[in-house]
């Protein structure tokens, strides 16, 4: 499997990936403006990923209210992400790390080479591009999103 993911305190590697509409989204475009929650997941349309991202969709207001941009990343194609995002009503960008295959997941040390997919890596990146929360779960292990919300709250409080 992949490694343990990047550590808290590391500088988040910049990237530019196409969203579901093939528009480029760069992590660096948020630097100096707002924190970003990066949510890597294995595959669109899979049951655990759908459950996790639907929970994120349903609780998105907590992140938006805190000024955090959510970016969800998988190795699926943009076309697949568009169909899935439309079906599920996701209101945050779904980014395609399809080609070069898994390069961003590799940069964050969450690429599962044997299966050609990202693990469930979650990284909260502050406005300076530093990782303030990091978590990596295996393919079948759903994440506890309460930890993300605590990390966002702590980040917001530290900026106050």
Candidates 6, 25, 49, 119; catalytic one: 49
- Secondary element (H or E) of residue 24: strand 24-26
- For residues 96 and 18, the answer to whether their CB atoms sit within 8 Å is yes
Taking residues 125-146, what's their average pLDDT?
90
Q: What is the DSSP string of 30-96?
A: GTTT--EEEEE-S-TT-HHHHHHHHHHHHTHHHHHHTTPEEEEEESS-HHHHHHHHHHHT--S-EEE
Mean pLDDT for the stretch of residues 58-84: 96
Please confirm, yes or no, whether 54 is among the known catalytic residues: no
pLDDT band at 2 (very low <50, low <70, confident <90, very high): low
Which of the residue ranges 19-23, 82-86, 113-117 would you say has the lowest mean pLDDT?
Answer: 113-117
Confirm or reject CATH 3.40.30.10 for domain 16-159, answering yes or no: yes
Confidence (pTM): 0.94
Mean pLDDT of 83-89: 97
Q: Which DSSP symbol is given to 29?
A: G
């Amino acid at each position: 499997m992949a490694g343990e993911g990047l550590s808290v305190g590391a500088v988040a590697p910049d990237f530019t990936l196409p969203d579901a509409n093939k528009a480029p989204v760069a992590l660096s475009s948020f630097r100096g403006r707002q924190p970003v929650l990066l949510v890597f997941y294995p595959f669109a349309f899979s049951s655990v990923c759908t459950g996790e991202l639907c929970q994120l969709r349903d609780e998105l207001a907590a992140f938006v209210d805190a000024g955090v941009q959510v970016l969800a990343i998988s190795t699926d194609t943009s076309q697949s992400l568009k169909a899935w995002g439309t079906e599920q009503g996701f209101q945050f960008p779904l980014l395609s790390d399809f080609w070069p295959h898994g390069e961003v997941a590799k940069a964050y040390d969450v690429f599962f080479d044997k299966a050609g997919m990202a693990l469930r890596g979650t990284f909260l990146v502050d406005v300076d591009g530093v990782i303030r929360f990091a978590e990596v779960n295996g393919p079948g292990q759903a994440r506890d999103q309460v930890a993300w919300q605590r990390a966002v709250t702590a980040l917001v409080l530290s900026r106050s």
